[in-house]
Amino acid sequence: MADIMTPALGESVTEATVARWTKKAGDAVRKDEILVELETDKVSLEVAAPADGVLSEILAAEGETVEPGTVLGKMAAGAAAAAAPAKTAAKAQAAPPPPVAAPAPAKAEAAKPAAPSAQRIAAESQLDLAKVAGSGKDGRVTKGDALAALEARAAAPAAAPAPAAPRELHQREERVRMTRLRQTIARRLKEAQNNAAMLTTFNEVDMSAVMALRNEYKDVFEKRHGVRLGFMSFFVKACIAALKQVPDVNAEIDGQDIIYKNHYDIGVAVGTEKGLVVPVIRDADDMSLAGVEKAIGAMGKKARDGQLALDDLQGGTFTISNGGVYGSLMSTPILNAPQSGILGMHKIQDRPMVVKGQVVIRPMMYLALSYDHRVVDGQGAVTFLVKVKDAIEDPQRLLLDL
Amino acid sequence: MSQYDVVIIGGGPGGYNAAIRAGQLGLKVACVEKRETLGGTCLNVGCMPSKALLHASELYDAAMGKQFATLGIEVKPKLNLSQMMAQKADSVTQLTKGIEFLFKKNKADWIKGAGKITGPGKVEVTAADGTVQTLDAKHIVIATGSEPTPLPGVQIDGKRIVDSTGALSLPEVPKKLIVVGAGIIGLELGSVWRRLGAEVTVVEFLDRITPGMDTETAKTFQRTLTKQGIVFKLGAKVTGAVASKSGVKLTVEPVAGGEAETLEADYVLVAIGRRPYTEGLGLESVGVTTDKRGVIDTDHFKTAAAGVWAIGDAVHGPMLAHKAEEDAVACIELIAGKAGHVDYNLVPSVVYTAPEVAWVGKTEEQLKEAGVAYKVGKFPFTANSRAKINHETDGFAKILADAKTDEILGVHIIGPQAGELIGEYCVAMAFKAASEDIARTSHPHPTRSEAGRQAAMGVEGWTMQS
């Protein structure tokens, strides 16, 4: 009998949710066949069968939270088991296996009762004594421990208020548990709004030059580099040029300090069926347009396939979000904390523009830069956006590093 | 020559409990005792006989004095001292026989004779008739206890000038008894003879009674004893004693300086303390060291010599039978490879006078000296229903708790059966209980134990019944 364990989940990730079991208890499985999918704050991962055998028991039901090392289920291993039992197992279990009761998180021993005074404090102050380290006999929680825990709680920055009791569902409503990814997105977006002095400045850009360039070279570019020439690579390069001119936008606040980053790791928001993820194109300033396009293509594929590794998502210095692909004309993106700037790209739309006294039709895109006003002042933000606009309207500036 | 896992020298509360525990744990054990009976000072000439006399004399006093009359019981009691002594001896005999039974039950050998260490793993036992045998032991436990400390210039003659042993068996009720030393033993035995009719004067070198007791409690205690008729001469030094056939002339001078005076009594009890009984044990043969007072140096009962352990009155800590018992269990468990441990802060003290005084943990003075911020809850027995009903309202219960965590740091009770009440607080403190834990725990009504609960409430200012 082999345990199916929750694997290590990566740096700073302490728990995962069991997303889906692809096998039922009693199923015969082959070595390396996927048994169960886990979802963490940042990535999904799959746990494969360690050997041929039969999945004998599922211990962590779907939706349950597990930690690295938690036993997810048990397998009866053995080559013999793998060969024949698919059918026998199915027959032997004419009735579906009884649902496995979710086991309580493995505790070394039953918790010792807390002192009556500690229980009173817990009841009056909604203190979870299970989370208080007890200093009394055999680890019992004393009144002093409970008071200290209250004090620590008061001293800590006000934690998120306890979630309200689930409200009653009305007819024609449906309650769906947020996926871990969605919970993380929600938490991080709100954190960014709470922490940063965030505001957005707008500009618009005439896409004629970039579109002309793209039309002229897209075939030969694709033939040469094996990747389509998109607009994103131009914006990545334009942003890097602007970041170099306005380093504040590439900085972050750390306590009383500002950390300036002399590297340009650009997060590119990618929509997947599960939600938005932001893989990072590292050292994008060292890449050619083709290099950027290739990197974006590779990340997008990984994201859609759920293959992103944690490293792919961490450590960006600036983010570009393109709501235009869904038709957004204007938006105010939220910062990807602890970054200080995010560029919002939008839909390209032909609009009448006045050029040299003449009304002409131009393919226009609104640009938005949300920034942390604690680091970036208004002049810097506007300069940044004008710099991006200039580079896109006249791509030769990128070539000449202007 | 017999081979033992453990040989214990001394059959008192330390030694006999060690022997029983060793037997329980499957160790081959012998206990060497030079008395004709087991039980040591405690059973033979200490705790047990003194409690027998304290109980009997308290009832006699109650019958003689106003107490019975108040209750509507009119009697004219007559003291039969020899019967009182006989019932005491009878109880003691039953108790020492009880230890013999426990030895048999736990397969512990009782070797009669005086034990002496003659080398590593060797204990030589000399029996009363002079025969000598040597026991081989993997572990030797010294549990030889203590003896009364002599007072320079005062010769204990066992007739007119006695120590605690003598005072348990006086042939008559003294007209005048002088007790030298206002410690627990002196006050208990002084109380016995005061109740039986003696005029009792207690002479004490210090300017307070019962050193070590919480000062507020000690003051109340002294007041109560004074009310009962005991006379205290504090800050007084005994410089000499001359015994005659009919009495003793005691020379006493104030410690602070001044005129010496001569006190006369028909008996003098010297009870200025006890000292470890560690001479003549052959400690030097294995390199066991002691301090100047003869206290054996130990680290978790291990002496300087491998395989030699020491417990009870012979080592540091309060000289109390129940402390020796704790030592015994911990020491034997350590020998057996277990995790024996004693928390000396939780060893309670009891004075078995009327009222009794009992305490555990720290006194107010100790907390102040250590700079610990504490809160006090106090409740008088005058406001306790059971005490009131019984016309026994002297005293109070006092609880000291940490000002921040509310953990109980000390409990001091003066009142009837305080000794029976203190156990609750030993358990509570072992569990690091807060005063609130006592205050929120139901106590039976009407009992004296409620006074402790009300005092606990008082720590946080919500005493309900006074």
- Report pLDDT for A84: 40
Q: Which residue of A has its CA nearest to B439?
A: A117
- Report pLDDT for A357: 93
Which residues of chain B have a CB within 8 Å of the CB of A117? 406, 433-434, 436-437, 440
pLDDT in tens, chain B (466 residues): 579 999 999 999 999 999 999 999 999 999 999 999 999 999 999 999 999 999 999 999 999 988 999 999 999 999 999 999 999 999 999 999 999 999 999 999 999 999 999 999 999 999 999 999 999 999 999 999 999 999 999 999 999 999 999 999 999 999 999 999 999 999 999 999 999 999 999 999 999 999 999 999 999 999 999 999 999 999 999 999 999 999 999 999 999 999 999 999 999 999 999 999 999 999 999 999 999 999 999 999 999 999 999 999 999 999 999 999 999 999 999 999 988 889 999 999 999 999 999 999 999 999 999 999 999 999 999 999 999 999 999 999 999 999 999 999 999 999 999 999 999 999 999 999 999 999 999 999 999 999 999 999 999 999 999 8
Using DSSP's 3-state secondary structure scheme, residue A363 falls into: strand
Average pLDDT, chain A: 83
Give the total residue count for chain B. Answer: 466
Indicate yes or no: CB of B434 within 8 angstroms of CB of A135: no
DSSP calls for A26-66? T-EE-TT-EEEEEE-SS-EEEEE-SSSEEEEEE-S-TT-EE
Alpha-carbon gap, residue B202 to B28, rounded angstroms? 48
pLDDT at residue A273 tops 70: yes
Q: Which of A200-214, A309-323, B442-456 has the lowest mean pLDDT?
A: A309-323
Which residues of chain A have a CB within 8 Å of the CB of B405? 142-144, 147-148
Q: Which residue of A has its CA nearest to B442?
A: A116
Q: Which residue of A has its CA nearest to B434?
A: A143
Indicate yes or no: CB of B405 within 8 angstroms of CB of A136: no
Q: What is the pLDDT of residues B73-107, one digit of tens each?
A: 999 999 999 999 999 999 999 999 999 999 999 99
Distance from the A152 Cα atom to the nearest Cα atom in chain B, whole angstroms = 14
Q: Are A143 and B436 in contact (CB under 8 A)?
A: yes
Q: Which residue of B has its CA nearest to A135?
A: B432
Among A3, A373, A390, A394, the active-site one is A373
How remote is the C-alpha of A222 from its chain's centroid? 31
- CB of B341 less than 8 A from some CB of A: no
Q: Which of A6, A24, A392, A87 is nearest to A209 (CA)?
A: A392
A to B CB pairs, distance under 8 Å: 48
**How many CA within 13 A on the CB side of residue A295?**
24
Q: Which residue of A has its CA nearest to B402?
A: A144
Interface test with A, best of B341, B346, B402, B406 (most A CBs within 10 A): B406
**At A194, phi and psi to the nearest 5?**
-75, -35
- Report pLDDT for B208: 97
- CB of B460 less than 8 A from some CB of A: no
Alpha-carbon gap, residue B212 to B365, rounded angstroms? 9
- Give the list of residues 6+ apart from residue B246 with CB closer than 8 angstroms, or none: B266
- Report pLDDT for A302: 85
Strands B231-233 and B199-203: parallel
Q: Which residue of A has its CA nearest to B403?
A: A144
Alpha-carbon gap, residue A35 to A77, rounded angstroms? 14
Indicate yes or no: CB of B430 within 8 angstroms of CB of A137: yes
Indicate yes or no: CB of B436 within 8 angstroms of CB of A144: no
Alpha-carbon gap, residue A260 to A228, rounded angstroms? 33
Q: What is the mean pLDDT of residues A190-219?
A: 93
Indicate yes or no: CB of A144 within 8 angstroms of CB of B402: yes
Interface test with B, best of A132, A140, A141, A143 (most B CBs within 10 A): A143
Q: Tell me which H or E stretch contains A210.
A: helix A208-225
Distance from the B433 Cα atom to the nearest Cα atom in chain A, whole angstroms = 7
- Report pLDDT for A83: 41
Using DSSP's 3-state secondary structure scheme, residue B233 falls into: strand
- Give the list of residues 6+ apart from residue A241 with CB closer than 8 angstroms, or none: A387, A388, A391, A397, A398, A401
Distance from the B178 Cα atom to the nearest Cα atom in chain A, whole angstroms = 47
Indicate yes or no: CB of A143 within 8 angstroms of CB of B437: yes
- CB of B407 less than 8 A from some CB of A: yes
Q: Which of A125-139, A158-172, B256-270, B347-361 has the lowest mean pLDDT?
A: A158-172
Indicate yes or no: CB of A143 within 8 angstroms of CB of B440: no
Using DSSP's 3-state secondary structure scheme, residue A107 falls into: coil
pLDDT at residue A354 tops 70: yes
Q: Which of residues 422-451 of B touch A (CB under 8 A)?
A: 430-434, 436-437, 440-441
Which residues of chain B have a CB within 8 Å of the CB of A140? 431-432
Indicate yes or no: CB of B406 within 8 angstroms of CB of A137: no
Q: Are B64 and B57 in contact (CB under 8 A)?
A: no
Among A286, A305, A350, A377, the active-site one is A377
Distance from the A116 Cα atom to the nearest Cα atom in chain B, whole angstroms = 5
**At B50, phi and psi to the nearest 5?**
-65, -40
- pLDDT confidence band for A172 (50 / 70 / 90): confident
Interface test with A, best of B437, B438, B441, B443 (most A CBs within 10 A): B437
Distance from the B291 Cα atom to the nearest Cα atom in chain A, whole angstroms = 34
Strand order in the sheet with B199-203: B161-162, B267-270, B176-180, B199-203, B231-233
Residue A263 a catalytic site member = no
Distance from the B317 Cα atom to the nearest Cα atom in chain A, whole angstroms = 23
Place of tokens 């700079």: B371
Q: Which two tokens stand for residue A18?
A: 């069991």
Distance from the A107 Cα atom to the nearest Cα atom in chain B, whole angstroms = 22
- pLDDT confidence band for A107 (50 / 70 / 90): very low
Q: What is the mean pLDDT of residues A334-352?
A: 94
Which residues of chain B have a CB within 8 Å of the CB of A144? 402, 404-407, 432, 434
Interior CA angle at A95 toward A94 and A99, to 5°?
Answer: 140
ipTM above 0.85, yes or no: no
Which residues of chain A have a CB within 8 Å of the CB of B431? 115, 136-137, 140, 142
Indicate yes or no: CB of A115 within 8 angstroms of CB of B405: no
Q: Residue A345 pairs with which residues in a beta bridge? A: A322
Indicate yes or no: CB of B437 within 8 angstroms of CB of A137: no
With an 8 Å Cβ cutoff, the interface of chain A facing chain B consists of 115-117, 120, 135-137, 140, 142-144, 147-148
Interior CA angle at A245 toward A242 and A250, to 5°?
Answer: 70
- Report pLDDT for A154: 84
Instruction: For residue B213, give Cα distances in angstroms to B275, B312, B315, B430.
Output: 20, 21, 21, 20
Percent of chain B with pLDDT over 70: 100
Q: What is the pLDDT of residues A365-379, one digit of tens each?
A: 999 999 999 999 999
Distance from the B327 Cα atom to the nearest Cα atom in chain A, whole angstroms = 20
- Report the first-to-last Cα separation within chain B, whole angstroms: 68
pLDDT at residue A73 tops 90: no
pLDDT at residue A59 tops 90: no
Indicate yes or no: CB of A147 within 8 angstroms of CB of B441: no
Count of C-beta atoms within a 10 Å radius of residue A379: 9
Q: What is the mean pLDDT of residues A232-242?
A: 94
Q: Which two tokens stand for residue A284?
A: 């994008």
Which residues of chain A have a CB within 8 Å of the CB of B430? 137
Alpha-carbon gap, residue B278 to B265, rounded angstroms? 33
Distance from the A115 Cα atom to the nearest Cα atom in chain B, whole angstroms = 7
Q: Which of B35, B37, B36, B39 is nearest to B16 (CA)?
A: B39
Contacts of B95-101 with C-beta under 8 Å, sequence gap 24+, read B95/B39, B95/B43, B95/B48, B96/B37, B96/B38, B96/B39, B96/B43, B96/B44, B99/B11, B99/B16, B99/B38, B99/B39, B99/B43, B100/B38
What pTM value is reported for the model? 0.63
Indicate yes or no: CB of B431 within 8 angstroms of CB of A137: yes
- pLDDT confidence band for A62 (50 / 70 / 90): confident
Roughly what angle, to the nearest 10 degrees, separates helices A208-225 and A289-304? 80
Residue B445 a catalytic site member = yes
Q: Which two tokens stand for residue B53?
A: 């006399």
Which residues of chain A have a CB within 8 Å of the CB of B403? none
